[in-house]
Structure 1
Amino acid sequence: MTRSDLLRSVMTRTAVFRLVLGWASFAALLALAPQLAGPLPTPMLWLTLAAIVTVIAVCAFGVVTEAEHLAHRLGDPYGTLVLTLSIAAIEVILIAAVMLGPGEHHTIARDSVMAVSMIIMNLVIGVALIAGGLRHSGLRANRNGVSTYLGMLIVLLAVAFAFPALLGDAGAYAPAAAITMIVLVVLLYVFFLLRQMGAQKADFQEVDARRDAVDAPARASVGAVLVEHRAELIARTLLLLALVLPIVLLSHDMATLLDDGLGRLGAPVALSGILIAMIVFLPETITTVRASLSGEVQRVSNLCHGALVSTAGLTIPAVLTIGLITGQTVVLAESPINLLLLGLTLLLTMATFSARRLNPLHGATHVMLFVLYMFSVFA
């Protein structure tokens, strides 16, 4: 592929549009900063907030699109890992913007990660299993991989939501405990990544009845792919970063306006975290449903469970680190009702993915549990 052909394949019209929209929106906000400094009329506030959220969502779709191209080149689990890490990075950016913005946001990390947990493990997986189950009659997941994900999630979510109530003060880790948890979680997550990309790589690949066939074509190694498609991989990585930067730059204004808007509505505090989770995971939700419709159940697990492992393994240490540096209190301990919902979600996930064949009824039970979570938010 020539350099011009490569440029055309990477810098498509859609990619250029997303880049221009993101950076032009940031420039417009800079120009309008004096007008946005004071309290805005309510209609103007919601209009501006909707515009910023739309731009962030469009750029996030671009990030996920480029991550999907990288995933296609690298194959699983490497490709899916790029995608889930991209999503986790966007979430950290948005949570940090809210934490460092005006107002008190001691629970924003807790509310966001809890919302991500419920959205991913119940709503997205539920919809994906319903859609895929109605199209395919024999959906099978790689139970070794799902079991590994669940083991990680049980420990990481306990560190995030349960242990702060036991080891901390008013639901927040003491500084010494926070440092200890940061180190332990990061070490566990790094060990998980090394195993996922190394000795246990096969556990996170699709169950294929033809895998033992002698005529099955061998996939090129990651090293060979990096050498053969180096230019494309570098170009798409640079484009991905160029699309992430507008999200970073716009997230501060989004956090300020969101705080003001929800305050005027008198909305539940947790709603801010839910909105961040919905913005972050919308692009990957579409990817997950597509994978399910194609019968790729293990890819559904990699996208959803892998994203949640990355969220708990990266977001929690990141926000604890921000709290230590800035002196902010990071409240993580969850309420009894949310701990119950989280426990039920993990038990339901075990029951669902331990089945030999997945079907739409499995998906329906997950969606029902998500509805119960939303009831608890607005109760």
Structure 2
Amino acid sequence: MPSPERAAHKTSLPDLRTIVRRERFLGLTLATCLLVLLFEDWVFSGLDNPFHLVPVMAWLFFVVLATAIGVVRHAEALSERLGEPFGTLVLTLSITGIEVMSITAVMLHGENNPALVRDTLFSVVMIIMGGMVGISLLLGAFRHWELTFNLQGANAYLGVIIPLAAFSLILPDLTLSTAGPTLSPLQKVMVGAMPAGLYIVFLLIQTGRHRGYFAQPTDEAEDEETHEGSGAPALFHVLLLFSYIIPVVFLVEQFARPVDYVIETLGAPATIGGILMAILVTTPEGIGGVRAAMNRRLQSSVNIFLGSVLATIGLTVPIMLVISSLLGLDLELGLEPADTLLLVLILSVSFVTFSSGRTHVLQGAVHFLIFIAFLILSYSG
């Protein structure tokens, strides 16, 4: 049991110099926001010049990614105080909140992109369940041979993700009441209410009577690396969490402007916008998930990755359906045939991977190769 002195140290506020050093990227983010606000015409007026376009895109991408990592860092600090499964729940909800607000901001900016929500949702599923799960299983297996997780928790995630993904991304292609990959008003109500309702029920079992389903089932977690916490109280991390979230949403909207230019003027695939947005919002938590797998805590990786996919579908779909209906915007959710095949494939492989309670290197290789196929098909069609 920790001593009173150590407990007091854990909740003491760091000195100003330490705070400035740790939050230096927040200063960079705020400076970038101020620069865009004051010199907007200069920043975005020369996009037809590659020597101006590339640095602007690279700089905004770097700043948004660094800011999102700051969000994850403070969400993880809160998660250490809350424990599982509340910890990963804070993390996934923070990232999903950024995603929802960013998509809304981009949809309200410039020309309406009816497929943006679909492309972002699909990209999140493929990047997380293909690339990030694959990398985590590969690196974890190379280091520990086999990794264990709680089978009941993984099954609970997949049992909700699979039907929600089918209703949100496949059903619109099969309905006959409207033209194209869209839904009628009644179908929108059904597709919007179902993810929200199931996600609420899932949260009740995750934080209530079945919390044990989402905890590491063995003593392997005792071998994990230990890290010294920041020593700051929870309120400090909550305030900085929102301090990072607000500017990152603004910068994502600005980042969409050169991306739109590349898509519309240079003829790049339209899915690039959704893929880039998905990378921005998933990479920071992906780092945490890979780190957990390397430390032999695969259950934390499962909670982060599958929880993020579930939160993305369970929250983004109903919110965006409501927003698009209120604003009179078109919303295309149905996938193209090749993307539908990839979605069914990654969900099926995930069901097999998380059906035994143990994972090994072959499963990681399969997930990662499906992710590579997704990238190739996204570019070549």
TM-score w.r.t. the length of structure 1 is 0.90
Distance 1:193 1:176 in 2: 26
- 1:339 corresponds in structure 2 to 340
User: Could you tell me how far 1:340 is from its partner in structure 2?
Assistant: 1.3
Distance 2:374 2:298 in 1: 25
The counterpart of 1:19, out of the listed 1, 26, 47, is 26
Q: How does 1:29-48 map to 2 (within 5 A)?
A: 29-36=36-43, 38=45, 40=47, 41-48=49-56
The counterpart of 2:114, out of the listed 81, 92, 106, is 106
- 2:329 corresponds in structure 1 to 328
- 2:274 corresponds in structure 1 to 273
User: Could you tell me how far 1:188 is from its partner in structure 2?
Assistant: 1.4
- 2:229 corresponds in structure 1 to none
- Name the SS for the 1:80 alignment partner: helix
Distance 1:11 1:238 in 2: 16
Distance 1:365 1:68, change over 3 A: same
Distance 1:181 1:172, change over 3 A: same
Distance 2:328 2:146 in 1: 52
- 1:175 corresponds in structure 2 to 185
Residue pair 1:46, 1:261 contacting (<8 A) in 2 also: no
Per-residue CA deviation, residues 45-85 of structure 1 (Å, 9 max, x unaligned), is 22112211211111100000001111111111000000011
The counterpart of 1:152, out of the listed 141, 145, 160, is 160
| 2:208 is aligned with 1:208 | no
Distance 1:150 1:299 in 2: 15
- 2:5 corresponds in structure 1 to none
- Name the SS for the 1:173 alignment partner: coil
- 1:220 corresponds in structure 2 to none
TM-score w.r.t. the length of structure 2 is 0.89
- 1:194 corresponds in structure 2 to 204
User: Could you tell me how far 1:239 is from its partner in structure 2?
Assistant: 0.5
- Say which is worse superposed, 57-66 or 155-164, in terms of deviation: 155-164
Distance 2:371 2:89 in 1: 25
- Name the SS for the 1:169 alignment partner: coil
Residue pair 1:106, 1:331 contacting (<8 A) in 2 also: yes
Residue pair 2:10, 2:233 contacting (<8 A) in 1 also: no
User: Could you tell me how far 1:356 is from its partner in structure 2?
Assistant: 4.3
- Name the SS for the 1:6 alignment partner: coil
Distance 2:21 2:326 in 1: 39
Residue pair 1:128, 1:363 contacting (<8 A) in 2 also: yes
User: Could you tell me how far 1:9 is from its partner in structure 2?
Assistant: 9.1
- 1:315 corresponds in structure 2 to 316
Task: Give the aligned residue type for 1:129.
Answer: L
Residue pair 1:140, 1:356 contacting (<8 A) in 2 also: yes
Distance 1:252 1:312 in 2: 21
Q: How does 1:292-311 map to 2 (within 5 A)?
A: 292-311=293-312
User: Could you tell me how far 1:334 is from its partner in structure 2?
Assistant: 0.7
User: Could you tell me how far 1:35 is from its partner in structure 2?
Assistant: 2.3
- Say which is worse superposed, 160-169 or 8-17, in terms of deviation: 8-17
- Say which is worse superposed, 154-163 or 258-267, in terms of deviation: 258-267
Residue pair 1:18, 1:243 contacting (<8 A) in 2 also: no
Q: How does 1:8-157 map to 2 (within 5 A)?
A: 8=15, 12-36=19-43, 38=45, 40=47, 41-157=49-165
- Name the SS for the 2:145 alignment partner: coil
Q: Structure 2 regions of 5+ residues with no counterpart?
A: 1-7, 223-231
Task: Give the aligned residue type for 1:78.
Answer: F
Distance 2:126 2:33 in 1: 32
Task: Give the aligned residue type for 2:100.
Answer: V
- 1:357 corresponds in structure 2 to 358
Q: How many pairs were matched up?
A: 363
- Say which is worse superposed, 180-189 or 202-211, in terms of deviation: 202-211
- Say which is worse superposed, 25-34 or 123-132, in terms of deviation: 25-34
Distance 1:9 1:192, change over 3 A: farther
- Say which is worse superposed, 71-80 or 169-178, in terms of deviation: 169-178
Distance 1:37 1:48 in 2: 8
Residue pair 2:46, 2:52 contacting (<8 A) in 1 also: no
User: Could you tell me how far 1:186 is from its partner in structure 2?
Assistant: 1.1
Task: Give the aligned residue type for 1:264.
Answer: T
Distance 1:200 1:14, change over 3 A: farther
Distance 1:75 1:209 in 2: 16
Distance 1:177 1:138 in 2: 44
Per-residue CA deviation, residues 267-292 of structure 1 (Å, 9 max, x unaligned), is 11111111111111111111111101
Q: Structure 1 regions of 5+ residues with no counterpart?
A: 217-230
Distance 1:37 1:375 in 2: 30
Distance 2:105 2:262 in 1: 16
Distance 1:299 1:255 in 2: 32
Residue pair 1:106, 1:330 contacting (<8 A) in 2 also: yes
- Say which is worse superposed, 77-86 or 338-347, in terms of deviation: 338-347
Residue pair 2:191, 2:318 contacting (<8 A) in 1 also: yes
Residue pair 2:112, 2:329 contacting (<8 A) in 1 also: no
- Name the SS for the 1:12 alignment partner: helix
Task: Give the aligned residue type for 2:309.
Answer: L
